[in-house]
Chains A and B, each alone.
Chain A
């Protein structure tokens, strides 16, 4: 596993994108430590490939601290992000695995994320993600639901994985 690029935000940002991703790896892995500026306890984070806003879906398994649930979404929901309503200075941890990103089949991915909150309401989510598009992935982007920003010190690490 090789670190391709990383970024730590010096100021609040509406989205984080890795662009011009080389096709020289087998799989991609993204690790994020993120928090958003929304007043809520948490917000969902969305992923997109190559700037596309279409042909996305996900199946999410969720624990909320008090109940378990599952649902289907027409977006790629990768996990919930701590907001201003959660314990101060805590950040959500999210890991995303994207196999065969440069291949010519539809692109699947999986995500595993948790929020950090010293209260009953704290989320753990596993999601199966799909982009029904056969293009090679050259860009991976993240944004938070609700038109809110990632806060300063949020960071993202993009790794490439080779099977040889």
Chain B
């Protein structure tokens, strides 16, 4: 048996604190958000790796006195 997620509502007029079970639609939205966040994270991680690779390639070419690509040069310019 799984426990349905809940949310907290604090009524600022009465001081009442309610713990409310999420609706089916809200649970489905949470799952969709989780999937979307995983996809975004994978994309961000891929970009981070690609940038690190470009920087490493630019550094190696500079040391070797070889010409850089435009993308490699971009990693060196602020």
Contact = CB atoms under 8 A, between A and B. Distances in A.
A17 B7 contact: yes
Contact of A147 (B11, B19, B33): B33
Interface residues of A, number: 25
Interface in A1-36: 4-7, 9, 11-22
B53 to A, nearest CB: 16
Contact-residue bracket for chain B:
20 to 34
A145 B26 CA distance: 14
Given A21-B12, A22-B12, A147-B32, A13 B7 contact: yes
B64 interface: no
A18 B5 contact: no
A7 B10 contact: yes
B7 to A, nearest CB: 4
Most buried by A among B30, B31, B35: B30
B37 interface: yes
A148 interface: yes
Contacts of B7: 13-17
Interface of A: 4-7, 9, 11-22, 40, 43, 145-149, 158
Give 9 closest A-B pairs by Cβ, nearest first.
A146-B37, A147-B34, A147-B30, A147-B33, A20-B13, A15-B7, A17-B9, A13-B8, A14-B7
